[in-house]
Amino acid sequence: MKLVRYGQAGQEKPGLIDAQGTLRDLSSVIPDVAGDALSTKSLEKLRGLDPAGLPVVPAGQRLGACVGRVGNFIAIGLNYADHAAETGAPIPAEPIVFNKAPSCIVGPNDDVIIPRGSQKTDWEVELAIVIGERASYVGANEALDFVAGYCVCNDVSEREYQLERGGTWTKGKGCPTFGPLGPWLVTRDEIPDPQNLGMWLDVNGERMQTGSTKTMIFDVAQIVSYVSHFMILEPGDVITTGTPPGVGMGMKPPRYLKSGDTVSLGIDGLGEQRQRVLAYEEHASDTSLPVRERSASA
């Protein structure tokens, strides 16, 4: 299944994409694509529905992040051998784990906002895991049983904040709009091999990243197992799993996002995202935004 959340920011409704590509409303079945609605039992119930019996959603709806009420938004750093090579970093002996703020999560086609004063905002196409069952101390051999599905993530990153300001990577990873998720949450049964997915990212139509989950250092099962030994993973938690080569920081000279850029990215079977890049000042002064959002930005 392809599960989505649609509607205005903060008022998203649950939906699914049927076999013909039509968006249908799931509001009468589940309250949101979040939490216990992502459990194995709940997903089995959704699979048993006849999509033709669900209301058709009018075209042109905004897509929100494909999972709601995310408690833990966890990320894995330097998890692609070819990306580690482009940055000159050694292969990690264990997964590098850090947090992205759940408040940075936005829809797949929402604007990405360059933070105030930022000079080094970067892009990263990533495979994200969505947890479906409570996981604690699970083995790698059983870890996929705790996965609800997968989605595309743009792990937007401010490299100065991440690497030059001391402390942890988190400072450069959780700025507002730095976590586009979606367009769909694709359930695990539709992605039989998450380690064989092509990935790409363009900036202004120019290909920057071309990769495959084949080059992950730690695979999906290892990551879920590893993280579950340090924290309890709850249904709806998201783990984004690292990026292939081609990030702006790795270019010679480095290249970073600027206002007016357009970023497009996708992963086989998981759909595509497209974001307009705006400077903080442009976003904060945009009177077309809802009052609540403008107030939070100012």
Tokens read off for 236: 């709806």
- CA–CA–CA angle 124, 128, 132 (5° rounding): 165
Integer Cα distance of 212 and 268 in angstroms = 9
Instruction: Give per-residue pLDDT as tens, 248-270.
Output: 999 999 999 999 999 999 999 99
Tokens read off for 205: 């139509």
Tokens read off for 204: 């202004």
Domain boundaries, the chain: 70-297
Integer Cα distance of 271 and 23 in angstroms = 14
DSSP 3-state of 113: strand
Q: What is the mean pLDDT of the chain?
A: 94
pLDDT for 43 beyond 80? yes
DSSP state of 56: B
* Mean pLDDT calculated for residue range 21-45: 98
Model pTM score: 0.94
Kindly indicate the confidence band of residue 285, based on its pLDDT and cuts at 50, 70 and 90.
low
Give, in words, the CATH class of 70-297: alpha beta
SS (H, E, C) 26-49: CCCCCCCCCHHHHCHHHHHHHHCC
Instruction: Give per-residue pLDDT as tens, 94-106.
Output: 999 999 999 999 9
DSSP state of 64: -
Q: What ranges in 54-203 are assigned the alpha helix state H?
A: 81-87, 159
- Could you tell me how many helices (H) and strands (E) the chain has, helices first? 6, 18
* Mean pLDDT calculated for residue range 134-155: 98
* Sequence letter at residue 181: L
In this prediction, what percent of the chain has a pLDDT beyond 90?
A: 89
Instruction: Give per-residue pLDDT as tens, 195-239.
Output: 999 999 999 999 999 999 999 999 999 999 999 999 999 999 999
Q: What ranges in 90-203 are assigned the alpha helix state H?
A: 159
Cα–Cα distances (Å) from 279 to 27, 283, 288, in that order, read: 36, 6, 16
Whole-number pLDDT of residue 297: 36
Residue with tokens 């974001």: 275
* Mean pLDDT calculated for residue range 135-161: 98
> Which is higher by pLDDT, 125 or 283?
125
Contacts of 213 (CB under 8 A, 6+ apart): 127, 194, 195, 196, 197, 199, 219, 241
pLDDT for 289 beyond 60? no
Integer Cα distance of 62 and 110 in angstroms = 9
